Structure 1
Amino acid sequence: MEESVLAFFRMLGSLLKTIVQLIIIERIGYGVGWVVSKAVTFGRFPSSEVTESERGKVSYIGLASIALVLLGIAVFNGM
């Protein structure tokens, strides 16, 4: 009985961890992606009416931008 309760709480903790990580990635990725997208497209993308598909694209742009900046820092520090 104790093992099943422990497994349940372990699963619940893992689920909460995943949800929190996704929320944080979504917020940070979207925020950075929005700024980068507005700067690169001179304010044309994303539009004022954001769809779920567009929100995903902007989040991926933000995550890619963060990864490129971190890669640039790593390369610069390696010189």
Structure 2
Amino acid sequence: MTRNQIPGVSSQYRDEVFPEAYWGYGWAVNGSKRDGGDLFSPEAYSHWGAAGPFLCIDPIYQIVTVHLSVELDHQKPF
């Protein structure tokens, strides 16, 4: 579940291109992505909810991050 299940598959999110997408089964695997800067190790995995909540688990740094929120503005162009 938390290992890259699509090795070699690229992706794009807005203007950022990822040479390798790094997705597990339902989890985004950090891999070499730098969207979290240096805060997450390559082994970290995360999941965003549709209204803004976020869960990230990093087994290397031994930390769990939970951000609970409700985004009321659904008028964004994505």
Q: Assess same fold via TM > 0.5.
A: no
Q: Higher strand share goes to which structure?
A: 2
Question: How would you bin the TM-score normalised by the shorter chain?
Answer: under 0.3
Query: TM-score, with normalisation over the residues of structure 2?
Result: 0.24
Query: TM-score, with normalisation over the residues of structure 1?
Result: 0.24
